A and B are shown apart, each in its own frame.
Chain A
Amino acid sequence: MADSSVSYKCPNCGAPLSFLPGKKTVTCEYCGTEFEVSAIEELFRDKQEMAVQAAEAQEAKWATEDAGSEWTSDEAKALHAFTCSSCGAELVCDENTMATECVYCGNPTMIPKRFDGMLKPDYVIPFKKTKADAVAALKEFYKGHMLLPSNFTANNRVEAIQPMYVPFWLFDSKITAQADFRAEKHHVITTPKEIITEVSVFKCRRKGIMSFERIPVDGSKKMDDTYMESIEPFNYSELEKFSAAYLTGYLADKYDVTAESSSARADRRVENSAIEVLQSSLENFDAVQLEDAAIKKDVGQVSYAMVPVWILTTRYNDRPYTFMMNGQTGKVVGSLPYDKTKAFLYPALCSLVLMPILYFLIITLT
């Protein structure tokens, strides 16, 4: 039976191939041979076609052969089995997995069937940060947090560390923005007897055009939107045309949130920024308040990209803590636990020090 997955193996020595962070080529870590991305694509095209057919054959008989109990339709839809082309083990993954690694032999595995029926990504930002970079960045992230429990770093073990290409929609838009502001100019006149403040009130209308390029919005339900917004920004000068070869050695998901569903998040951000730009022209006023705004999208384009993210999971007091690192820039985001005793003692100490200082200031000033 043909394999339903494709392992990118070195044509020279047969070892698994990986796209190493920071390199332009696919490299065999064992014999050191380097391959151009286009050469790898050519080499494995036939294998991918075979794997697609094999996967279709397996899917056709899915959910009817179970000897125990029937899969529910939801389970059957979500779970899929593939055979590892390296060791023959059966891999189970969810419906969005495009690339993974075999849990038995660790072989990087692509699932080409998953590329069908969905859009092919336009771009990919290749990984630049390695696993060692991610672990070092996480340790650096722990530093400088006064409330971090003392034994968090001592007893802390990185339970899981996974590099993943996350599907992102990149929104380009050209807009016309119009806003009305109520603005005030204050003029203070001081006489020997009184302080006179003249407040001149204006209605200010601002209208302008502007363009935004590649506002990223993640297209994966699995990934927390707030985390994905926190690891921004990305350096788009390193954006590459998509090739499946970049995914070798990494986990990769295809999108399960459509561009249409994601667009509201991009629109919200564009609207806020557009108003900020218009308001920036009112710097000569002393107080400005937005009254009304209208944003019209003149041109809106979307592209689909795979973005590199390191996912690090640690455990403390039986609770998992997940951190994410931008695989391109190395920016780490996450929420750390805090020591409740420290959270009480430090501010209390500050209050005790502040109290006599404030008392002295009040006595001196009154």
Chain B
Amino acid sequence: MKKFLSLLALFLLINFSVAGAARLDPVTDKAKVLKPTEIELLNQKIRGVEQKHKIKIGVAFVKSLGGQDIIQASDDFIDDNFANGKNGGIVLLVDMESRKYEMSTDSRMLNIITDSHGIPHLKDSFQSDLSAGNYFGAVNNFVGGVDELMTYYETNGIAYGQRKPGEIDPMAAMISFALAIFGGVMIRSTLIGSMSNVHRAKEATDYLQKNSVKFLENRDTFLFMNVQRKPRGGSRSGGSGGHSSGHGGGGGSF
């Protein structure tokens, strides 16, 4: 019964009607971890950032997701409630039962706050506060981080962590240099090897009488089975699966 109620609460939260989306405040605290004054302060701050950058930001704390995948839930949360920002939208969903959090960005925002650099930067800004139980500080820092990354994009014309056009990536340059040298060494050894065709004969297949081969025993005995499990890679960082098409994001545990 308790689980059913939790699921119902989540359903109501993430499946708000389009008409209702306009009325949803930026911060939703179903887990009751924030004081009303803190919620009000955070709502004010988020609205300021939203207006400044013409984006949408949503934050939700839930008691439980009732077994639903947090990545899917965060994608649904942004699509249903925060997808109409001119420059994009971003949400932070925190599940208090599993102590997991997930950020989801829409198709416009994922080019400004990238999965490779922007999302890890945000995680660094608030994860320690989440772990310490300072939920107000965590959300405050999350919003501050979004503001910082948007300002960076507006100032530099490129997403945080991205190279300017024409700028060389030192790591990629080193790897390509090492691979090119390795390729050169292999080509050299192949070319030198081609100067001689004198080789020992290792087998006598040319002299095998093909029709003389007769198998007397063919026995396959099953011994054991090994099972290897590997998480599927995706666009997100630090979670257990990938965001749906047109979304970016990432999350973790606290």
Contact = CB atoms under 8 A, between A and B. Distances in A.
Partners in one complex: yes
- Interface range for A: 35 or more
Interface string A214-225: 110000000011
Contacts of A346: 187-188, 191
Nearest to B163: A363
A348 B217 contact: no
A241 interface: no
B113 to A, nearest CB: 18
B223 A230 contact: no
A336 B196 contact: yes
A273 B205 contact: yes
At the interface, is chain B mostly helix, strand, loop or mixed?
A: mixed
A205 B219 contact: yes
Interface stretch (A1-9, A75-83, A130-138, A194-202): A194-202
Contacts of A352: 180
Nearest to B181: A351
A203 B231 contact: no
Chain B interface size, under 10 / 10 to 19 / 20 to 34 / 35 or more: 35 or more
A212 B232 contact: no
Interface in B213-245: 213-232, 240-241
Given A213-B209, A272-B203, A351-B180, A207 B198 contact: no
Contacts of B179: 354, 358
A269 B203 contact: yes
B12 interface: no
A89 B214 CA distance: 60
Nearest to A356: B176
Contacts of A192: 232, 241
B192 interface: yes
A190 B215 contact: no
Given A210-B212, A343-B188, A350-B184, A355 B195 contact: no
A335 interface: yes
A334 B196 contact: yes
A205 B208 contact: no
B199 interface: yes
Nearest to A210: B213
A196 B212 contact: no
A209 B191 contact: no
B228 to A, nearest CB: 4
B195 A194 contact: no
Given A194-B231, A201-B226, A333-B197, A147 B192 contact: yes
Contacts of B215: 206-208, 281
B225 A198 contact: yes
B34 to A, nearest CB: 31
A178 B206 contact: no
B187 A350 contact: yes
B174 to A, nearest CB: 10
B172 A273 contact: no
Given A201-B226, A352-B180, A343 B191 contact: yes
A195 B232 contact: yes
B207 A212 contact: yes
A352 B184 CA distance: 9
Interface string A133-176: 00000000000011110000000000000000000000000101
A233 interface: yes
A211 B215 CA distance: 12
A108 B80 CA distance: 101
Contacts of A354: 176, 179-180, 183-184
A210 B209 contact: yes
A366 B172 contact: yes
B180 A363 contact: no
A202 B181 contact: no
A362 B176 contact: yes
B177 interface: yes
A201 B180 contact: no
Contact of B225 (A146, A200, A214, A356): A200
B223 A355 contact: no
B203 A276 contact: yes
B220 A183 contact: yes
B206 A195 contact: no
Nearest to A350: B187
A88 interface: no
A337 B195 contact: yes
A201 B198 contact: no
Interface in A317-366: 333-338, 343-344, 346-348, 350-352, 354-356, 358-359, 362-363, 366
B194 interface: yes
Given A146-B194, A206-B219, A366-B116, 17 more contacts: A145-B194, A183-B220, A196-B227, A197-B228, A198-B225, A198-B226, A199-B226, A200-B225, A202-B223, A208-B216, A229-B200, A277-B208, A347-B185, A347-B191, A354-B176, A355-B177, A362-B176
